[in-house]
Amino acid sequence: MTEQSDYSDLRRDVSSLLTEETDPIANAANCAALVYHLMPDVNWAGFYFLQGDTLVLGPFQGRPACVRIALGRGVCGTAAQRRETIVVPDVHQFPGHIACDAVSRSEIVVPLIHDGHVLGVLDVDSPRLDRFNQDDRSTLEHVAQVWLRSSETSLVAALSNH
């Protein structure tokens, strides 16, 4: 896949891979693997799930990561709190950035929202400055929506337990 790609392979693969599976953890693991391997210049891709007022590390690909992130803290906590995708061209310029991997230079975080509830975030990092653009944003928002739809039954049960 080239950098100029429209990400049709990633969109197709995530949709077909999650078609018959409803387990949110299994689906998050497969989504993270697809994003990590099909997006160029990415050094971390994964999920954080909201527990109370803290995001807790979920399935990911890449180097070990921060396990807990408070709402409103760092890019992940801010995206979850604002309930909107955040694209950061240079993480060192983002107030309160949490440096889990010193080589990460840019980041995109997509909140996972189901029935008005923030369930967590999809987080992708790159070692390249200004790596993420509108195509990346729309593709990762698509990945998040496919994950949410495929895991819907399990998510309803999980929400009732929190």
For residue 95, report the phi and psi dihedrals to the nearest 5 degrees. Answer: -60, 125
CATH fold of 8-161 reads: Beta-Lactamase (3.30.450)
User: Helix, strand, or coil here: 136?
Assistant: helix
Could you state, in order of their start, the residue ranges of all structural domains in the chain? 8-161
Instruction: Return the axis-axis angle of helices 152-161 and 134-150, rounded to nearest 10°.
Output: 80
Position 95 confidence tier, pLDDT thresholds 50, 70, 90:
confident
Say if pTM beats, i.e. exceeds, 0.85: yes
Side chain identity at residue 45, one-letter code: A
- Residue 148: which H helix or E strand, with range? helix 134-150
pLDDT of residue 3: 47
For residue 99, the model assigns a pLDDT of: 76
Cα-based angle 88, 89, 92 (whole degrees, multiple of 5): 80
Q: What is the pLDDT of residues 29-58, one digit of tens each?
A: 999 999 999 999 999 999 999 999 999 999
Where do we find the tokens 């909107």?
A: 84
Label residue 16 exposed, middle or buried (CB < 10 Å: 0-12, 13-18, 19+).
Answer: exposed
